[in-house]
Amino acid sequence: MNQNLISDKHNFGETMKKVVEEIEISTERIQKLMARSGLGSRRQIEAHLAAGYIQVNGELAKPGHQIKPGDLIEFEKRQWLVNQDDDEQATDVIILHKPLGYITTRHDPEGRKTIFDLLPKPRNGRWVNVGRLDINTAGLIILTTNGELANRLMHPSYEMDREYLCRIHGNPSNGELQMLRDGIELEDGQAKFSDIVEGTASENNRWFNVVVMEGKNREVRRLWEAIDCQVSRLKRVRYGPIFLPHTLRPKRFEYLKPKDVRVLFKEVGLETARGILQLQPVKGRKARKNAAHVEKKAGKGAHSKAANVWDKKPKKFSKKR
């Protein structure tokens, strides 16, 4: 047999082995992984890393630290084990039919009801809502455990249109409706409806389906108010490619099917959900066991080196309202 052919086969096999290893073992920067898991924004995570509040396998981590499956992350007296999930449902996405009277913040100082009281416990990380609806608006809200997916769905550059069903008190003329299509200057800039579809009408009220391309605060209501019409009912029925099912009742939610999750990933230019790293919370005895294992693996000196900083109380994440 030709010796060169044997050599070429050997080199090809070694090359393919390296390629397979690179495919099968994922790594990711720590700030990106923690942000995607809902533990804060990348900027917040980077600040905590710089301050010495995050450890990986018992050692202080720095911004840019590459995380791999099997690593143990410690932050705010909690632990997460890094897993590589090959399931196409690694990213959970649910759609919720928000009822009237609920707010979309995680906690409310006034004690009002919040949509997070209606949600199931996530498998990993925490739920991140894609946009908000005010307390007097009902309809579709998308929530996901993937912070990067949520951020892209909300970012104007990806042009995710939002469709609303609204009941208007008033009788706008064709000219006024065209003004809403062309654009009206509001206090925070110009806004418009990219589409308006007229529905049924009664003596004092008319129904419309309208579409906006941005998520400005109370944008739909303010546009109608600009032509002296009042919104008496408002419901979001679509966000991008996702519609609110007619069978989904208020206060109810349902998980998106894997094929629908893949559609969302594709819409915002994200890689497939297959094979991404996930953070699995570690609790109770398992957490103590992991901590002991990490200390033994890292060595007493390495653990003691980080102790002074680690014993400090971490700063709490700022909450955006």
CB atoms closer than 10 angstroms to residue 213? 15
Q: Are 59 and 302 in contact (CB under 8 A)?
A: yes
Place of tokens 């029925």: 237
Nearest to 274 by CA among 91, 86, 147, 123: 86
Query: Catalytic positions, please?
Result: 134
What is the 3-state secondary structure of 185-230?
EECCEEECCCEEEEEEECCCEEEEEEEECCCCCCHHHHHHHCCCCE
Residue 12 C-beta-side C-alpha neighbours within 13 Å: 6
How far is 250 from 106, CA to CA, in rounded Å? 19
Which two structure tokens, joined as six digits, stand for 302? 């390495």
Strand, helix or coil for residue 79: strand
Report phi then psi at 209, rounded to 5. -105, 125
